[in-house]
Amino acid sequence: MPQGQVEVTPDDGLTTRQRRNRPLLAVHTGEMKGKSTAAFGMAMRAWNQGWPIAVYQFVKSAKWKVGEENALTALGRLHEQTGEGGRVVWHKMGSGWSWSRRRGSEVDHAADAAEGWAQIKRDLAAEAFGFYVLDEFTYPITWGWVDVDDVVETLVNRPGRQHVVVTGRNAHPTLVEAADLVVEMHKVKHPMDAGQKGQRGIEW
């Protein structure tokens, strides 16, 4: 837990306040679970600040993340009812994005991913949200479905005060280079190593 010590005073022409309030581009990577979980934990802090939150879930998942989705969207409903916290929008790839009418039986993952990224670009340009989770977004980058240079240029030059967290294994070096905060989740020990399978409430 960093206690607010600053190791270096940068020569960037910014005041402490400007520097403090610079919006964050974070990457959660590494081979271990906890990348998305920590991003959704951060979303709880963003919700508490009243910031509108958008999640773009880039890997189709029947049950993984359903707990986080239900809890976070419940917080979003609480906001609608009481004004407490912030708005929450949860977009899912695979069964058709929330904003998209197209729900074909023929799924083109590359096109879906490109469509998701195009929406993120529109939302960032419109400053639609204060906190973005681009969940498992490293994979479409790795697979070439979205262009890493376009991603980094868009994220680095996003307007206003929009915090962005990208999760997923094997984050692209160009993205890591551009990020302000990069955390790697490392496995020390996992119950699946001892033959235990995933369980309800823990893994999803």
Alpha-helical (H) ranges within 62-172 are 66-82, 109-125, 138-142, 148-156
**C-alpha distances in Å from residue 11, one per residue of 14, 15, 16, 199:** 8, 10, 11, 49
The reply to whether 106 sits near a second copy by the rule CB under 8 A is: no
C-alpha 152: how far from its chain's center? Answer: 14
Contacts with a second copy, 3-42, as mask; x by CB under 8 A? -xxxxxxx-x---x--xxxx-x--xxxx-xxx-xxxxxxx
Contact set for a second copy, span 60-79 (CB under 8 A): 64, 66-68, 70-72, 74-75, 78
Min dist. Cβ of residue 153 to a second copy (A): 19
Residue 84 or residue 153: which is nearer to a second copy going by CB? 84
* Cβ 154 to a second copy shortest distance, Å: 20
Report, in Å, the least distance between residue 149 CB and a second copy: 20
Could you tell me if 184 and 30 are in contact, meaning their C-beta atoms sit under 8 angstroms apart? yes
Residues 141-180 that bind a second copy (CB under 8 A): 163, 169, 176, 179-180
Closest approach of Cβ 18 to a second copy, in Å?
10
Ranges within 116-135 binding a second copy (CB under 8 A) = 130-131
Q: What are phi and psi of 140, to 5 degrees?
A: -60, -30
Answer yes or no: are the C-beta atoms of 165 and 132 closer than 8 Å: yes
First to last CA, the chain: 27
Which of these segments, 96-104, 114-122, 152-160, 189-197, binds a second copy (CB under 8 A)?
189-197
What distance in Å separates the CA atoms of residue 132 and residue 109, rounded to the nearest whole number?
21
* Shorter beta-carbon distance to a second copy: residue 87 or 100: 87
Number of residues that bind a second copy (CB under 8 A): 82
DSSP H or E segment with residue 36: helix 35-48
